[in-house]
Amino acid sequence: MNQFYKDEWVWITGASSGIGKELVAQAYKQNAKVLLASRKIKDLDAIAKELHLEKGRYAIEKLDLEDYKSVGTFAKRCLQKYGIPKVVIHNGGISQRSLTKETDLTTLEKIMNTNFYGAAEMTRSMIPQILGKKEVHFAVISSVAGKIGSPLRSAYSASKFALVGFFHSLRSEEEKSGIFVTMIYPGFIQTNISKNALKGDGSSTGTMDSVIAAGLPVQLCAHRILHAVANKQREVVIAGIKEKFGLALQMVYPSLFFKMIQKAKVR
């Protein structure tokens, strides 16, 4: 077993479901101490019981990424309580299923605040507290949609593209100072992300996309994320053949890719 995580704090946002929940389970099995962060404290308590997490090896903290102006206070409080973590996994977020012309400004703001500003502000507020004290690894869950803009995901893609720009810049500035960044690009993963995705008016879709249901197992996704972090990979795409083909085609033949993405099944 890799000793990278042994007795080290791993902070995981969006830990109440999906990839976040599975990251908690797998990091804990690798002897990490896990900080579960989410708005849904009851769900986090239930996960701790379900996974039989032991006292002293986990912590639960409420975190509302959408209220990004409060995230700095969260980060400073956790640094004081638990010390500097070895790994911070920016996983919390929300998706979208609506045409751009049908998406309200409030919905766009909610997605950007949650997916981008929350992670950016949490990281920004930590930097003065950690530089020169300990190496910290930020694992950032972007998306294949952070490389490809596809129909019904304009706000979601924008938020994921923004994460890439922010953390690429941070990496170029501070890797020499001990801040390491792994950008993660999941494709279709079997979670409830599409059920929880927002329609243009801000309500939840409540439906599972067929492409999500047929996606990669969440267990495999979490395993690859933790493996990429432990092996200090700067980028990792965790996706099926179709998504990887799309990424390659976009680079070598963008005009053909554009025609294909207009016709692609994305639900």
Provide the annotated active-site residues: 156
Query: CA of 140: how far to CAs of 42, 49, 53, 55, 162, in Å?
Result: 25, 27, 24, 27, 11
Of 266, 242, 246, give the one whose Cα is nearest residue 256.
246
Q: What is the DSSP string of the chain?
A: ---TTTT-EEEEESTTSHHHHHHHHHHHHTT-EEEEEES-HHHHHHHHHHTTPPTTSEEEEE--TTSGGGHHHHHHHHHHHH---SEEEE-----B-B-GGG--HHHHHHHHIIIIIHHHHHHHHHHHHHTTT--EEEEEE--GGGT---TTBHHHHHHHHHHHHHHHHHHHHHGGGTEEEEEEEE-SBSSSTTTS-B-TTS-B-----HHHHTSB-HHHHHHHHHHHHHTT-SEEEE--HHHHHHHHHHHH-HHHHHHHHHH----
Dig out the tokens for 225 from the structure.
């994320």
Residue with tokens 């938020």: 159
